[in-house]
Amino acid sequence: MLSALDLARRIEAGELTPRAVFARCVEAIAARDNEIGAFAVYLDVWERAVGALEDPGLAAPALGGTLASSPLRGLPVAFKDIFATADLPTQYGSPIYAGFRPRADAAAVALTRRAGGNVLGKTVTTEMASMVPAGTRNPHNLAHTPGGSSSGSAAAVAAAMLPLAFGTQTAGSVIRPASFCGVAGYKPSYRLIPLVGVKDVAWHLDTAGLFGAGVADIAFAAAVILDRDLWIDKAEPTAPRIALARTHLWPKASAAMQNAVETAARIAQAAGAKVTDVTLPKELEDAYAAQFVIQDYETFRALAFEYDRHRDLIGRPLHEQLDRGAAISADAYDAARRTASRGRQVFADTMADYEVMLTPSAPGAAPRGLHTTGDPAFNRLWTLLGTPCVNVPGFFDGDGLPLGIQIVGRFGRDRAALEAALFVEKAIRRKVGA
């Protein structure tokens, strides 16, 4: 995989140019994307070289300098195809929007360009960011799913097609595919990354996130794009206080995933972290159940135009979800939101003595076949609570498929979550050589 942080440092040192990195990414796409299917559309390298890549005297937009001196150093970045882009089609994984060209970039796209990122293309999303598979394959084994709905973003980073990609999560669409594809995934605190210009699925849940080779890479990208103090690579991370939570869903985790989580806890503890087993209060089980109600109710309303005007072009699984949403009453939805609010307070109280929680990123490795994107069971609650989550790669099952473990932080304390994830990632690498 391509480390964004390493590439940025080499560009800064004059060892590489943005043009060389971009060309390398295009070559990787040409070599592998026919079999993986990570991209919905990407810019032609010659068009891009003339129009945006660094040439002598070419200034980065809004920066007053060259791309090589910009915060992102001209690195290629891709966006899940529900982010609006003015220079590329935005089709939401749906025939309803075939060839659709927005007039403006989504805010996250504009901020990435402002920071000196080169938008290489749009990655495949499932239909309207739903659970409907889109045909993208897992780079580790083409017979397996990469997860979803941010299918293409996770697969593209895993296949070294580019160093950074954006996705979104409404249930588990950043952390789960990151786990399946063996990359770092970061779902920030709710709305830390602006969603202006991104297709709504469920407005109280939708959260934009990032994929990269490692934890330091996604922290670097988030820091410079969002102009926030998220740098975590300039000193050794301090040993965190970790709550080990198996949750009521623990029986859903495969033996390999259970072993990965427990091994990560032992490794982190041996490296100096304080790890404590915790049992989550019943209120968090109730909040987990409320997530289904909120997602289905809001998705039916977010896609009201498509459901009312183009129902025949909606795939069956999404159609069934929308029908479920139509049957949910406003009273049931309001009750679910009250349950979610109680859950957020209970979680804050539970985490009073800990920086982060350790739990599975997914039930196990990526399922075989392309008929499913996997189960987001281990992500739904954290998305509902709006907490920062990081997938830490480093483990594999008996078939050589990646297994990620999930670091869950406290709302608004994203730096602490990223720093703890880096601590765990480094400890795992030292121990198992991942």
What is the distance between the alpha carbons of residues 70 and 18, in angstroms, rounded to a whole number? 11
Q: Is the pLDDT of residue 46 over 50?
A: no
The closest alpha carbon to 245, from 377, 366, 346, 350, belongs to 350
Write out pLDDT tens, residues 341-354: 999 999 999 999 99
Q: Are 189 and 388 in contact (CB under 8 A)?
A: yes
How do residues 363-374 score in pLDDT, each as one tens digit?
Answer: 999 999 999 999
Average the pLDDT over 6-27 and give the result: 94
In the structure, what pLDDT confidence band is assigned to residue 65 with cuts at 50, 70 and 90? low
DSSP letter for 368, please. B
Taking the C-alpha atoms of residue 403 and residue 46, their distance in angstroms, rounded to an integer, is 38
DSSP at 407: E
Q: Is 79 helix (H, G, I), strand (E, B) or coil?
A: strand
- 235-252 burial, b if ≥16 CB within 10 A, otherwise e? eebebbebbbbbbebeeb
Whole-Å CA distances, 136 to 98, 181, 412: 18, 12, 33
Grade residue 55 by pLDDT with cuts at 50, 70 and 90.
very low
User: Within its chain, how far is the Cα of 133 from the centroid?
Assistant: 17
Residue 66, pLDDT score:
78
For the chain, the average pLDDT equals: 94
- The domains of the chain, with CATH numbers, are 4-226 (3.90.1300.10)
289-331 pLDDT, tens digit per residue, is 999 999 999 999 999 999 999 999 999 999 999 999 999 999 9
pLDDT tens-digit readout, 73-129: 999 999 999 999 999 999 999 999 999 999 999 999 999 999 999 999 999 999 999
The dihedral through the CA atoms of 199, 202, 208, 209 has a sign that is negative
Provide the whole-model pTM. Answer: 0.96
Choose among 282, 272, 283, 214: nearest CA to 242. Answer: 272
Determine phi and psi for 232, rounding to 5 degrees: -130, 5
pLDDT at 276 over 70: yes
User: How far, in Å, CA of 53 to CA of 75, rounded?
Assistant: 10
Residue 37 has pLDDT above 50, yes or no: yes
Query: pLDDT tens digits for 153-171?
Result: 999 999 999 999 999 999 9
Predicted pLDDT of residue 44: 62
Question: What pLDDT score was predicted for residue 57?
Answer: 37
Beta pairing, strands 118-123 & 184-187? unpaired
- Tokens 């709710």 locate to 190
Predicted local distance difference test score (pLDDT) of residue 50: 39
CA distances from 216 to 112, 221, 426 (A): 18, 9, 10
Per-residue confidence band for 204, with pLDDT thresholds at 50, 70 and 90: very high
pLDDT at 434: 52
Q: pLDDT category, 58, cuts 50, 70, 90? A: very low
Q: Which two tokens stand for residue 315?
A: 């795939």
Q: Is pLDDT at 51 greater than 90 in this prediction?
A: no
pLDDT score, position 49: 45
Q: Exposure pattern of 75-96 as b/e (b: 16+ CB <10 Å)?
A: bbbbbbbbbbbeebebbbbbeb
Of 153, 124, 138, residue with least CA distance to 212: 153
- Kindly calculate the radius of gyration of the chain based on its CA atoms and give it in whole angstroms: 20
Token digits for 95?
A: 């025939």
